[in-house]
A = this chain, B = another copy of it.
Amino acid sequence: MSTPDDLTKMIKEMAVRARKASRKLASLSTAAKNAVLQDMSRLLDERRSLIQVENGKDLANGRAKGLSAAMLDRLELSDKVIDSMIQGLAEVTALPDPVGEISQMAKRPNGLDVGRMRVPLGVIGMIYESRPNVTVDAAVLCLKAGNAVILRGGSEAIHSNLVLASILQEALAGRGINSDAIQVIPVTDRDAVTIMLAQEEHIDLIIPRGGEGLIRFVAENSRIPVLKHYKGVCHIYVDSSADLSKINPIVLNSKVQRPGVCNALEGLLIHRDIAARCLPSLAAELHGAGVELRGCPESVRLVSGIVPATDDDWGSEFLGLILCVKVVDSMEEAIEYIEIHGSQHTDVILTENYTRARRFMAEVDASAVMINASTRFNDGGQLGLGTEIGISTTKLHAYGPMGLEELTTRKFVVFGDGQVRE
């Protein structure tokens, strides 16, 4: 590809072909979709060495460019990562097919039966960064929900993404399915993203996954609806009536189990009446796990080793072993703090008080609100969706983890026997 016009033409043609492929996918039977998913599993297993040769090119380029060890690790398609892609495929194959389900059927006074039938969205655009396994995870979820997908991964994973897509396309073709259902954009400059985001006639939904910079770029440049979350600034409020034995395990798990992810804990709010009883032992355990605590004056007074927080700390997404701590006078103050500093991702109350549990659950505006549980449960798999394609912290269409159902919509179906409107 040489000129911007060529690039625009190529991406537009890909989108038109995806739209065409999506029309057939929409009426594919569950059995046909599961058969091709099983073929994909088998082919990924058989083509390990091919995958690893192509992945090796990305790794070599990455090393030459001086990527960090962590980034190279995310880029690598080791046997273990390939195993987990195959395992993911088996899980998606086993999930119930949402397409065609009719719900809310009701008879109208004039005898019409009115219901809603779940149908695919059409064409999904996935824009993501380094991890090439997203190519397979996202493609198979879109396929199972009857959608075509256009994938745009990071430039550092381009060889890996292209070989993975070619294997998935081979499986499609082997079952007589239009292989345009799964396409990878083969061009790595950012113009390709901008052009993709302008194909509102042919792409129905954009899902970006990656750092806040990428997601803001996508949100600001897209003419297509975007489902996204910028960040996860998750909070736990420890109520005055919290069960002391539950506090430390839940807070530790929320903060420490995997601190670099969006559902990790970033802010801890403790009611004044329980702070002196719980904070010293909790801080000791957190310090023991390597967590730096940055607190309000009251928490600094209660526990030596908590350092004073700066204004910038409140509401920060640390994605590491740092935690903000604030003593509050009431649940109302905690809810107000979360409204200001939270990111509508995951907020938790620890309490044994029935009325406050009910009020917190009703009043806190987040994609997942929890009572007496770890923030880490805000995840499609953990919440029962089977698997997820992303998490939305905006409210249109989906709020929270998005699984197969969120990759579909519902049309009205009306069964009549001659009715006309009065």
A204-B395, A367-B412 known, 4 other contacts, Cβ within 8 Å: A112-B377, A121-B396, A371-B416, A399-B411
A residues contacting B by CB (< 8 A) are: 23, 26-27, 100, 106, 108, 112, 114, 117, 119, 121-122, 204-205, 220, 223, 225, 243, 245-246, 249-250, 252-254, 257, 339, 361-363, 365-374, 376-378, 382-384, 394-397, 399-401, 409-421
Contacts of A205 in B (CB 8 A): 396
Contacts of A396 in B (CB 8 A): 121, 204-205, 225, 396-397, 409
Contact B414 A363 (CB under 8 A): no
Contact A26 B363 (CB under 8 A): yes
Contact B411 A367 (CB under 8 A): yes
Contacts of A421 in B (CB 8 A): 253, 257, 374, 376-377, 382
Contacts of A106 in B (CB 8 A): 384
Contact A362 B419 (CB under 8 A): no
A140 smallest CB distance to B (angstroms): 21
Chain B residue, CB-CB nearest to A336:
B23
Q: How far is the CA of A385 from the CA of B112 in the complex (A)?
A: 14
Q: How far is the CA of A363 from the CA of B399 in the complex (A)?
A: 28
Interface SS of A by simple majority? mixed
Contacts of A117 in B (CB 8 A): 361-362, 369
A153 smallest CB distance to B (angstroms): 23
Contacts of A220 in B (CB 8 A): 223
Q: How far is the CA of A362 from the CA of B417 in the complex (A)?
A: 18
Contact B416 A373 (CB under 8 A): yes
**10 pairs of residues in contact across A and B, judged by CB atoms under 8 Å:** A112-B377, A225-B225, A253-B420, A367-B412, A368-B411, A368-B413, A373-B418, A376-B420, A395-B409, A396-B397
Chain B residue, CB-CB nearest to A116:
B400
A408 smallest CB distance to B (angstroms): 9
